C-alpha cells in the first residue's frame, strides 16, 4: 500500500524537488510524527517553524472542531464580523509593540509579504523596494522579486521579468544603509535571517536600520514569518531586539498549524488601503474563521503555559550538548532556531541520510547547504532535547 501511495504521490501530486523525502506520515503528536509502520520521527523542523505548540495540540484541535461546526467560509474578507478573527486581531495587537494594532489576515507568508509591499508603496507613494541579500520571503512573483541575490538569483532568473525597482543590500552591513534614500518606499528585512542559515543581527544593526528608514521616510517591514510566535525566545523578534517596524509580516506558527498569514501596521498606515482605490488588497479566504480559531488557540496556549519563557534555555541546551562534537564547526542560533554548521555539503547530505534512518527530521536551508536545522516545536521538553541531541551526536559519530 505504501509503495502505491508513494508512486501516486510522485505521479499525481505536483513535484518540484528531484529528491523528496518520501516519508509517509500516519499521525503526529507533540514533537513526534509516526509512519504507518509506527516508526517515530523527532520533528526538529516543526514544518519549518510552524508547529510551535506541538502536533495535535488539544486546545487547537478542539478550537478547529468547534469552529468548523459553527461556521466556515461565509463571505470574502473584510465584510462580515467573525468572532475568531476579531478576537485574534485584538490579542495580537495587544502583544505587538505600539503602534502596530491593525491586522490584515491572509492565507500564507508570501501573501503577507505581497500585502505589506503594496501597503508600503500605497502609503509612501514611492516605488523602490529594498531587501536583504540571502533573504527568503516566499515564492510568488512579488515575494520572489525581493528574494535576496546572489543566492536568490538561481531561483529568480527563469521567471523574469519580476517587479521593477527592487534592490538588495547586505544584511548586517552598516555601510549599505546609505543606499536607503528618499526614493525608497520600504526596506524588507528578516530580523534573523532564516534560510540564509540562521544569521542573527549584529549588535545595533536593526536600530541603525530603523534610524536610516526614519531619516528618509521609508517604511521598515519586518518579515517575522519564521521568527514570530516565540521562536527566538520572545513572542516577536522585534521585541527581542528592541526595534519596532512600521509593518510586520506573520505566518507559519501564526495559524497554529492551519494556513494563516497577516501583515500588521498602525491603523493610520493600514487605512491607506481603503481609498483611492477602495479595496487596495482583496482576498477570499484570508482570515478564514477555522484558521483564526486555530491560531488564536495556539497563541493563547503559548501565553497560558509560558512556553516562550523556556525557549532560550532549551535552545542554549541544544547548543551546549552539540557544540563540543568535532564535526560541528559552528552553531548559529536565536532561541530555538538553530543552524548546526558542518562546513561541507557532502557531510550535510550524509547526515540527512543517517537522520532518516535514526528517526530525526531535520532539514537544510535554502541558501546554506552546509548546515542542518533544529527548530522543533517550542513545547519540546528538556528530556526530549537531551534525547534528540543524543541521537544527533550518535549520527555525527557515524559521519
Ligand atoms: C522568512 C520567511 N518569509 C516568508 C516565507 C514564505 O511563507 P509561505 O511559504 O507561507 O508563503 C517563508 C517560508 O519559509 C519564510 O521563512
Residues 330, 364 share a domain? yes
Residues 284, 380 share a domain? no
Residues 188, 39 share a domain? no
Task: Compute the average pLDDT of residues 217-235.
Answer: 98
**Proportion of the chain above pLDDT 90, given as a percent:** 96
**Residue 96 pLDDT more than 60?**
yes
Residues 184, 249 share a domain? yes
Given 257, 283, 304, the domain boundary residue is 304
CATH number at residue 317: 3.90.1150.10
264-289 pLDDT, tens per residue?
Answer: 999 999 999 999 899 999 999 999 99
- Reported confidence tier of residue 19, pLDDT bands at 50, 70, 90: confident
Residues 354, 252 share a domain? no
According to the model, what pLDDT value does residue 307 have? 98
| Pocket probe mutation, ligand 1, options 197, 226, 228, 254, max atoms within 8 Å of Cβ | 226
Rounded to whole angstroms, the Cα distance separating 279 from 286 reads 14
Q: Distance from CA of residue 281 to its chain's centroid?
A: 22
According to the model, what pLDDT value does residue 155 have? 83
154-201 pLDDT, tens per residue?
Answer: 788 899 999 999 999 999 999 999 999 999 999 999 999 999 999 999
Residues 105, 229 share a domain? yes
* Helix/strand/coil for 40: strand
Closest ligand 1 atom, residue 195 Cα: 16
CB atoms within 10 A of CB 106: 27
According to the model, what pLDDT value does residue 153 have? 78
Rounded to whole angstroms, the Cα distance separating 188 from 167 reads 11
According to the model, what pLDDT value does residue 239 have? 97
Mention every residue, 6+ apart, whose C-beta is less than 8 A from residue 213: 180, 184, 187, 219, 220, 246
For residue 42, the CA-to-ligand 1 centroid distance in Å is 22
Task: Compute the average pLDDT of residues 34-59.
Answer: 98
CATH number at residue 68: 3.40.640.10
Residues 134, 82 share a domain? yes
Rounded to whole angstroms, the Cα distance separating 52 from 58 reads 13
Rounded to whole angstroms, the Cα distance separating 21 from 24 reads 9
Rounded to whole angstroms, the Cα distance separating 134 from 367 reads 7
For residue 319, give its domain range.
2-52+307-397
| Pocket probe mutation, ligand 1, options 136, 191, 367, max atoms within 8 Å of Cβ | 136
Domain tally, the chain: 2
Residues 48, 160 share a domain? no
**Residue 290 pLDDT more than 60?**
yes
Task: Compute the average pLDDT of residues 36-48.
Answer: 97
305-339 pLDDT, tens per residue?
Answer: 999 999 999 999 999 999 999 999 999 999 999 99
Q: Is the pTM of this model over 0.85?
A: yes
| Pocket probe mutation, ligand 1, options 200, 225, 231, 334, max atoms within 8 Å of Cβ | 225
Residues 283, 179 share a domain? yes
- In this structure, the residue with its CA closest to atom 16 of ligand 1 is 226
For strands 166-169 and 128-132, give the pairing. Answer: parallel
**Residue 11 pLDDT more than 90?**
yes
Rounded to whole angstroms, the Cα distance separating 348 from 129 reads 35
Task: Compute the average pLDDT of residues 54-82.
Answer: 97
Residues 154, 25 share a domain? no
Q: How far apart are the first and last CA of the chain?
A: 33
Residue 350: beta bridge partners? none
- In this structure, the residue with its CA closest to atom 6 of ligand 1 is 138
For strands 261-265 and 247-250, give the pairing. Answer: antiparallel
Q: Tell the residue number behind the cell numbers 513545547, with chain if given.
A: 379
**Residue 368 pLDDT more than 60?**
yes
Given 256, 281, 304, the domain boundary residue is 304
* Bond prior to 161 in cis (omega within 30° of 0): yes
Residues 315, 384 share a domain? yes
Strand (E) or helix (H) holding 134? none
Given 280, 304, 328, the domain boundary residue is 304
Task: Compute the average pLDDT of residues 342-354.
Answer: 97
Query: Pocket around ligand 1: residues whose beta carbon is below 6 Å from it?
Result: 48, 108-110, 113, 136-138, 190, 194-195, 223, 225-226, 251
The chain-wide mean pLDDT, for the chain, equals: 96
Task: Compute the average pLDDT of residues 289-296.
Answer: 98
Task: Compute the average pLDDT of residues 373-392.
Answer: 98
Residue 374: beta bridge partners? 338
**Residue 1 pLDDT more than 60?**
no
Closest ligand 1 atom, residue 252 Cα: 10
Residues 247, 103 share a domain? yes
Amino acid at each position: 500500500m505504501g509503495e502505491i501511495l508513494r508512486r501516486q504521490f510522485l505521479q499525481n501530486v505536483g513535484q518540484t524537488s528531484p529528491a523528496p523525502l518520501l516519508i509517509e506520515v500516519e499521525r503526529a503528536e507533540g514533537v513526534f510524527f509516526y509512519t504507518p509502520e509506527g516508526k517515530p520521527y523527532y520533528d526538529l523542523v516543526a514544518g519549518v517553524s510552524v508547529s510551535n505548540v506541538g502536533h495535535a495540540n488539544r486546545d487547537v484541535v478542539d478550537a478547529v472542531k468547534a469552529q468548523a461546526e459553527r461556521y466556515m467560509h461565509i463571505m470574502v474578507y473584510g465584510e462580515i464580523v467573525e468572532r475568531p478573527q476579531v478576537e485574534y486581531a485584538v490579542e495580537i495587537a495587544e502583544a505587538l509593540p505600539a503602534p502596530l494594532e491593525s491586522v490584515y489576515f491572509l492565507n500564507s507568508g508570501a501573501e503577507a509579504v505581497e500585502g505589506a509591499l503594496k501597503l508600503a508603496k500605497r502609503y509612501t507613494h514611492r516605488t523602490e523596494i529594498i531587501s536583504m541579500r540571502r533573504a527568503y520571503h516566499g515564492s510568488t512573483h512579488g515575494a520572489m522579486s525581493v528574494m535576496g541575490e546572489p543566492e536568490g538569483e538561481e531561483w529568480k532568473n527563469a521567471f523574469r521579468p519580476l517587479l521593477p525597482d527592487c534592490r538588495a543590500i547586505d544584511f548586517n552591513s552598516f555601510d549599505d544603509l546609505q543606499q536607503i534614500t528618499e526614493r525608497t518606499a520600504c526596506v524588507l528585512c528578516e530580523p534573523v535571517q532564516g534560510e540564509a542559515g540562521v544569521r542573527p543581527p549584529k549588535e545595533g544593526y536593526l536600530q541603525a536600520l530603523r534610524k536610516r528608514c526614519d531619516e528618509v521616510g521609508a517604511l521598515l517591514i519586518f518579515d517575522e514569518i519564521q521568527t514570530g510566535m516565540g521562536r527566538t525566545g520572545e513572542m516577536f523578534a522585534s521585541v527581542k531586539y528592541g526595534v519596532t517596524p512600521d509593518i510586520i509580516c506573520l505566518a507559519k506558527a501564526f495559524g497554529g498549524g492551519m494556513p494563516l498569514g497577516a501583515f500588521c501596521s498602525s491603523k493610520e498606515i493600514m487605512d491607506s488601503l481603503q481609498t483611492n482605490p477602495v479595496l487596495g488588497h482583496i482576498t477570499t479566504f484570508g482570515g478564514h474563521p477555522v484558521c483564526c480559531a486555530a491560531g488564536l488557540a495556539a497563541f493563547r496556549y503559548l501565553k497560558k503555559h509560558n512556553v516562550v519563557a523556556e525557549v532560550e534555555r532549551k535552545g542554549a541546551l541544544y547548543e551546549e550538548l552539540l557544540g563540543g562534537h568535532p564535526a560541528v564547526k559552528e552553531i548559529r542560533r536565536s532561541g530555538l532556531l538553530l543552524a548546526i554548521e558542518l562546513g561541507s555539503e557532502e557531510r550535510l547530505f550524509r547526515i540527512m541520510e543517517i537522520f532518516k534512518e535514526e528517526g530525526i527530521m531535520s532539514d537544510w536551508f535554502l541558501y546554506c547547504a552546509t548546515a542542518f536545522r533544529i527548530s522543533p516545536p517550542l513545547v519540546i521538553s528538556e528530556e526530549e532535547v537531551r534525547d534528540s541531541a543524543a541521537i544527533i551526536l550518535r549520527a555525527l559519530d557515524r559521519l
